C-alpha cells in the first residue's frame, strides 16, 4: 500500500506556489499524507477494502483479503511463501493488516525499518525531494549522493569502525553493494595489489553466510538450496568455516583477491565470530594482499548497538571494503560499498555503474537516517533496550530449557535457537500479533525497529512466551 499525497493537496500547493521550506514546514495532516483510498488510481485491493465504505472489521477485512489474494496471486511470481494476510499500514513498531489486525513488528522488514514505520519526517523528506528531483542518473552530480557519502565516511571514522574509510559507491540493494565489492576485489587483484596478476581472482566466503541472490553474491553464498538451481556459478569462489582460521589457511593463497564475511551472520542463524578470529583473518589477508570485505548489510547501521558491528573486533580487524544497505534507507532501496583509498585507486571511470544508484531521493533519506542513528545517544539507547531483550530471552530459555537451547546475537539482532522446528512457534506468534522470522536451522530471528520501546519489547516477549507454551 503506497503512501500517496492527495492530488488535491498537491495541486493546491502548486497553485499557491509554496516554497520548499514551507512544504517541509507543513504538518502531516496539512499535506494530506494518507493511505491510498481512492479506487481509481490505486490497487484493486484498495477498492475492495473500501467497497462497503464502512470501517474495516475482521469480517469485511477477511473477505477483502481473500478476494484480493484470489484476484491477484495468479499474476505474482511465487518466490516467497507468504501468509494469508495483507499489510497496508505501519505506525512505529506496529503493522496493520486490512482487517485492522495489529502486529508488533520484530522483523523490521528484515532489519530495514530501524526508524519505524510511517515515519513522518521521512515522509516529509520524500515528499519534498520528489517535488524537487527524484532521479538524474550518475551522468551528473546531484545534491545528495555526495552529501551522504561524506556523512557516512565522517561518521564511520568518528566511531571505532573502518578507520581508512575513504570513498563510497552507491547501489540500490544489498546484493548490488556486494556485487560492487566483489568486482572491486577482482579489479584490485588484477591491477591494484602488490602481487597483482591475472590469476589473482579467487574469493573466499564462509559457510552459512548470506550475501544476496545475484550471481556474484550468490556465488559467495554457499547454501545448496539457493545455489543448486542456478549452477554453474562464478569460478574462483571457495568456502571456509566461520570462525575457523585453519579453514581459511587451507584456502587462502597469493591468488586470493578478496575475503567476504558478515561480522554477524544474520540469515545463517545469528552467529558472531571472536575478535581473535577476525584479527587473524585480517592478518592473513594482508599477507597475501587480499581485500577484507565486511558485509554489514544486516549487522550495520546501529543494529548491534554500535554504528558498525565490526567495531567490536578492534582496529586490527578493520576492513578494506564494507557493504551496507537495508536500514540505510529505512525502506527506500539503497545500498553502498565503502572502500579505502587504496581500493579506490584501482577503480577507474567506467569500471562499474548503475542507473538508479545514488539517486537524490534515496540518498537524501539515507542522509537523514544516518544522522538519526549515528549519534552516541541513539546507539546507547539501542544497547540499553537490547539488555531488556536479552534478559527476557534468557528468562524464556530458563522457562523452556528443553525447547530453547541457546540465545545468540548482540544489540537488537538476536537468534533464539530451538531444539525443534521453529515454524509452529512463528505461526503461533503471528496469530497472536507478533511478527518474527526464521534463520539458520530452527532459529527464530529477532530484528525489531531500533526505535522500539522497552514496553514493546516486553509485549513481544510475552507473545513469544505464549507461542513457546503451545509446543
**Site for ligand PLP (CB under 6 A): which residue of 117, 124, 155, 211?**
211
**Site for ligand PLP (CB under 6 A): which residue of 202, 267, 311, 456?**
267
Report the nearest approach of ligand PLP to the CB of residue 20 (Å). 31
Report the nearest approach of ligand PLP to the CB of residue 286 (Å). 24
Report the nearest approach of ligand PLP to the CB of residue 420 (Å). 25
**Site for ligand PLP (CB under 6 A): which residue of 179, 202, 262, 456?**
262
298 in contact with ligand PLP (CB under 6 A) = yes
Question: Helix 376-399 crosses helix 360-373 at what angle (to 10 degrees)?
Answer: 70
Please give the Cα distance from 138 to 152 (Å, whole number). 19
414 in contact with ligand PLP (CB under 6 A) = no
175 in contact with ligand PLP (CB under 6 A) = yes
Please give the Cα distance from 170 to 367 (Å, whole number). 13
CB 359 within 8 A of CB 142: yes
Query: Judged by CB, which is closer to ligand PLP: 80, or 140?
Result: 80
Report the nearest approach of ligand PLP to the CB of residue 200 (Å). 24
CB 104 within 8 A of CB 435: yes
DSSP, collapsed to helix, strand or coil, labels residue 397 as: helix
Report the nearest approach of ligand PLP to the CB of residue 221 (Å). 8
Nearest-CB residue to ligand PLP? 174
Report the nearest approach of ligand PLP to the CB of residue 128 (Å). 26
Query: Judged by CB, which is closer to ligand PLP: 70, or 79?
Result: 79
DSSP, collapsed to helix, strand or coil, labels residue 190 as: helix
Task: Give the chain's radius of gyration (CA, Å).
Answer: 23
- The CA distances from residue 283 to 146, 197, 278, 317, 319, in Å, are 32, 21, 9, 8, 11
Question: Pattern of binders to ligand PLP over 181-210, x per CB under 6 A?
Answer: -----------------------------x
Neighbours of 343 (CB within 10 A): 25
In DSSP terms, 439 is beta-bridged to 443
**Interface residues for ligand PLP in 419-448 (CB under 6 A)?**
none
258 in contact with ligand PLP (CB under 6 A) = no
**Site for ligand PLP (CB under 6 A): which residue of 97, 105, 179, 295?**
295
* Joined grid coordinates for residue 453: 520501546
- Percentages of the chain per state (helix, strand, coil), in multiples of 5: 45, 20, 40
* Joined grid coordinates for residue 129: 525531494
Query: Judged by CB, which is closer to ligand PLP: 200, or 211?
Result: 211
282 in contact with ligand PLP (CB under 6 A) = no
**Interface residues for ligand PLP in 101-130 (CB under 6 A)?**
110
Local structure of residue 271 (DSSP, 8 states)? B
CB 401 within 8 A of CB 469: no
**Site for ligand PLP (CB under 6 A): which residue of 174, 273, 329, 460?**
174
Please give the Cα distance from 404 to 410 (Å, whole number). 17
Query: Judged by CB, which is closer to ligand PLP: 295, or 456?
Result: 295
Query: Judged by CB, which is closer to ligand PLP: 61, or 449?
Result: 449
* Joined grid coordinates for residue 121: 519526517
Q: Which residues bind ligand PLP (CB under 6 A)?
A: 110, 173-175, 178, 210-212, 262, 266-267, 295, 297-298, 325
Amino acid at each position: 500500500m503506497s503512501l500517496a499525497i492527495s492530488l488535491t493537496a498537491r495541486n493546491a500547493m502548486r497553485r499557491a506556489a509554496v516554497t520548499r521550506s514551507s512544504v517541509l514546514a507543513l504538518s502531516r495532516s496539512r499535506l494530506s499524507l494518507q493511505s491510498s483510498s481512492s479506487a481509481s488510481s490505486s490497487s484493486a485491493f484498495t477498492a475492495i477494502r473500501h467497497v462497503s465504505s464502512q470501517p474495516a472489521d475482521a469480517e469485511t477485512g477477511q473477505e477483502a483479503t481473500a478476494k484480493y489474494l484470489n484476484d491477484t496471486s495468479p499474476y505474482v511470481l511465487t518466490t516467497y511463501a507468504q501468509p494469508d494476510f495483507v499489510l497496508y499500514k505501519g505506525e512505529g513498531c506496529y503493522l496493520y493488516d486490512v482487517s485492522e489486525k495489529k502486529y508488533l513488528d520484530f522483523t523490521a522488514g528484515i532489519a530495514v525499518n530501524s526508524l519505524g514505520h510511517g515515519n513522518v519526517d521521512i515522509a516529509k523528506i520524500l515528499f519534498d525531494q520528489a517535488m524537487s528531483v527524484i532521479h538524474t542518473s550518475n551522468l551528473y552530480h546531484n545534491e545528495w549522493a555526495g552529501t551522504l557519502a561524506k556523512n557516512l565516511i565522517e561518521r564511520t571514522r568518528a566511531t571505532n569502525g573502518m578507520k581508512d574509510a575513504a570513498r563510497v559507491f552507491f547501489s540500490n540493494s544489498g546484493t548490488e553493494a556486494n556485487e560492487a565489492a566483489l568486482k572491486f576485489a577482482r579489479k584490485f587483484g588484477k591491477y591494484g595489489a602488490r602481487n597483482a596478476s591475472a590469476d589473482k581472482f579467487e574469493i573466499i566466503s564462509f559457510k552459512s553466510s548470506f550475501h544476496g541472490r545475484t550471481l556474484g553474491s550468490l556465488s559467495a553464498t554457499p547454501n545448496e538450496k539457493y545455489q543448486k538451481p542456478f549452477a554453474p556459478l562464478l569460478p574462483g569462489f571457495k568456502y571456509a568455516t566461520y570462525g575457523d582460521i585453519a579453514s581459511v589457511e587451507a584456502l587462502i593463497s597469493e591468488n586470493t583477491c578478496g575475503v567476504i564475511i558478515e561480522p554477524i551472520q544474520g540469515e545463517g542463524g545469528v552467529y558472531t565470530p571472536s575478535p581473535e578470529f577476525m584479527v587473524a583473518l585480517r592478518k592473513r589477508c594482508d599477507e597475501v594482499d587480499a581485500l577484507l570485505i565486511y558485509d554489514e548489510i544486516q549487522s550495520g547501521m546501529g543494529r548491534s548497538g554500535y554504528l558498525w558491528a565490526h567495531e567490536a573486533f578492534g582496529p586490527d580487524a578493520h576492513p578494506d571494503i564494507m557493504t551496507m544497505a537495508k536500514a540505510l534507507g529505512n525502506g527506500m532501496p539503497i545500498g553502498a560499498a565503502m572502500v579505502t583509498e587504496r581500493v579506490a585507486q584501482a577503480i577507474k571511470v567506467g569500471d562499474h555503474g548503475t542507473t538508479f544508484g545514488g539517486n537524490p531521493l534515496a540518498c537524501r533519506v539515507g542522509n537523514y537516517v544516518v544522522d538519526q542513528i549515528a549519534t552516541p545517544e541513539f546507539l546507547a539507547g539501542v544497547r540499553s533496550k537490547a539488555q531488556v531483550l536479552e534478559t527476557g530471552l534468557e528468562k524464556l530459555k530458563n522457562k523452556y530449557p528443553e525447547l530453547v537451547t541457546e540465545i545468540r546475537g548482540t544489540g537488537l539482532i538476536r537468534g533464539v535457537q530451538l531444539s525443534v522446528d521453529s515454524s509452529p512457534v512463528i505461526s503461533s506468534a503471528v496469530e497472536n500479533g507478533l511478527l518474527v522470522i526464521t534463520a539458520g536451522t530452527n532459529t527464530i530471528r529477532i530484528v525489531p525497529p531500533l526505535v522500539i520501546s522497552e514496553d514493546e519489547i516486553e509485549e513481544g516477549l510475552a507473545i513469544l512466551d505464549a507461542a513457546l507454551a503451545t509446543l
